[in-house]
Chain A
Amino acid sequence: MTGVSIPEAVLGSIRAAAQAAYPDECCGLLLSPERGDPTDPREVVAVAAAENRAEEGKRRRFVIPAPELKAAEERAARDGRVVSGFYHSHPDHPARPSEFDRDHAWPWYTYLVVSVRDGRAIDPVGAFELDPERREFFEVPLSVRRPPEVPGRPS
């Protein structure tokens, strides 16, 4: 897997969720089409917000408990989708994974991190994957898909 691609509007909804949750962290799931072969880059088609279940310190933590993930996976499967990763926000911290993120991350998933500073989501959103040895997160390219321009439309 070398990177992730996401529609501009979906990325916009992640930013909006991050701003709405500020100063708490927001979190949610990335959904991709269920395909036999992984696409390269991974194609995210939608997101599903999740409630941040961190019991202490929602400003610094997010938690999506296992039963909720399991339920979300089942819902996604009914739509022919898989949970391909997660997004969360870093209020007043850069869009880079923390040591806590790495320690709690899973391989294969894509992790998007959006930094919110003073209530405003700031670019760029970071995209990361865990290396299979669990030693480190590495950043992967994030490409934003824009809707095709309507031909002949005056600009």
Chain B
Amino acid sequence: MPSTKVKVPTPLRAFAGGRAEVEVEGRTVGEAVQALVRAHPGLGRHLLTPEGNLRSFVSVFVNERDIRALARDATELKPGDVVSIVPAIAGGAPSSPGASLPMARADRPKAGAFTGEELRRYSRHLLLPEVGVAGQKRLAAAKVLVVGTGGLGAPTALYLAAAGVGEIGLVDFDRVELSNLQRQVLFATADVGRPKLDAARARLQGLNPGVRVVAHEERLEAANALETLRPYDVVVDGTDNFPTRYLVNDASVLLGKPNVYGSIYRFEGQVSVFDAKRGPCYRCLYPEPPPPDLVPSCAEAGVLGVLPGVVGVLQATETVKLLLGIGEPLIGRLVLYDALGMTFRELTLEKNPTCVLCSAHATQKGLIDYPAFCGVPAASSAPARGVPEITPEELRGELASSDPPLLVDVREPEERAISLLEGSLPIPKGELPERVDELTRARSIVVYCRSGGRSADAVRTLLDLGFTHVRNLKGGINAWAERIDPSLPTY
């Protein structure tokens, strides 16, 4: 029987003992291929159909001639002939439009056999019968969107990356500030000034290079929310403001995606999973936002640095459970965490039968204008609050004049311990109505806070009370510190 050299294409050499050429015996091409597969069975599934014929995208050449131009399988071989197996390459989009858009979880390509390194990396997961190889593959095939990379998003993203979630989308548009580092454990001191998403991507991929990090460097708005959320399996709400929180909820409900909710205030946190298919949504719990400025942000009220760590890790836990399909998800339950008392309480949440968004009587079928819904003036419209302002530069000039204005500091005592303007009268905003007698109408007044928000409200209060010469320090004491007196810290 003639002996023939068969050239094995690069992609199949691993199945032929790494060799580029294999010597086999056969009178015809068909026999040589069968002999090749007998010697190296791993080649079989790549070359042959289940019936044992050559697959249509395998071409075989004898001495540079395609056997389809010769006698195909029956092409006879002479001693010294060289048989080359050459793959043709084909592919394409799904033939029926939308067939894979979006893929159902069961159809999603999953991670193949794990490498040795991956097996070691995930070994403590693989040992859990509830996770195992199948569960780890589900995580690798999963896509999670984390909205906000602040106090909540930072620990959530770190644990999701460590757990091997295949794709993590991040939405943020800020740069890292020094005041973030007290709680936003994604970032290092060297990252200050850097775009958050750049720093986050480097940190997460350093932690787990197998994770794909998709950066959405933009403000989440009604115009982009549906497109942004659509590719993901689970959405994690790490937002710090009500307009975005309602937007994340509404978009998740409209797209039918679970929304892992967390929020923090000073020493207390809340966690729940809103999945309108199986339970209530955020609007069932809070149909309306609170009046603007009733609930101050962390920037105004402060927050215990470890608090978002606890809450964010609880969100990561719920996310991983949802992806694995194990345990009791926090659907229809609201966990209240009190760090000072170190207590966890649980409230049962019911679906609101009249919820405008997720009930059978829903009236809202799309996204709305969230800043307006929450009573927040549109961003960057400085005069929106409609109060007279003074810039730090103008104030410096007036303070040096013969008739300097009276400075009123409406911040909390803790904030005055950080920075203050000399000679200012401390009246926290909440005490202003009762303490208005301490102010004289004879002098012009300039009110300030940290960055100009609370003081604008205070100016309006004073104007309503009949004061006439009241102005708001634009940008607050932080702007003063940046532009006039760099010796003052900003916070």
Binding site for B on A (CB under 8 A): 2-3, 25, 27, 54, 57, 59-67, 69-70, 73, 82-83, 86, 88, 90-94, 96-102, 104-109, 111, 123-124, 128-139, 141-142
Contacts and interface: CB of A to CB of B under 8 A. Distances in A.
Given A92-B97, A94-B100, A141-B209, A54 B90 contact: yes
Contact of B90 (A61, A138, A139): A61
A123 B110 CA distance: 20
Interface string B385-422: 00000000000000000000000000000000000000
Closest 10 pairs (CB-CB, A-B): A131-B112, A66-B59, A108-B11, A61-B92, A93-B93, A101-B91, A138-B112, A66-B86, A90-B93, A64-B89
Nearest to B209: A141
Given A67-B66, A100-B95, A141 B212 contact: yes
Q: Which of A70, A99, A131 has most chain B Cβ within 10 Å?
A: A70
A150 to B, nearest CB: 19
A132 B14 contact: yes
Contacts of A57: 92, 95
B277 interface: no
B210 A136 contact: no
Interface stretch (B101-109, B245-253, B448-456): B101-109
B46 interface: yes
A138 B111 contact: yes
A57 to B, nearest CB: 8
Given A94-B102, A133-B45, A109 B11 contact: yes
B360 interface: no
A54 B102 CA distance: 26
B366 interface: no
Nearest to A124: B214
20 contacts: A57-B92, A57-B95, A60-B92, A62-B89, A63-B89, A64-B89, A66-B58, A69-B87, A69-B89, A88-B92, A92-B97, A94-B100, A94-B231, A97-B109, A98-B99, A108-B10, A108-B13, A132-B15, A136-B112, A138-B140
B102 A111 contact: no
Nearest to A129: B112
Contacts of B86: 66-67, 69-70
A124 B102 CA distance: 15
B216 to A, nearest CB: 10
Given A3-B209, A134-B45, A66 B91 contact: no
A91 B91 CA distance: 13
A146 to B, nearest CB: 12
B14 A108 contact: yes
B163 interface: no
A138 B91 contact: no
A128 B95 CA distance: 19
B94 A2 contact: no
A124 B91 contact: no
A54 B100 contact: no
A25 B92 contact: yes
B88 A64 contact: yes
Q: Which of A83, A129, A142 has most chain B Cβ within 10 Å?
A: A83
Contacts of A106: 9, 11-12, 46, 87, 89
A129 B11 CA distance: 11
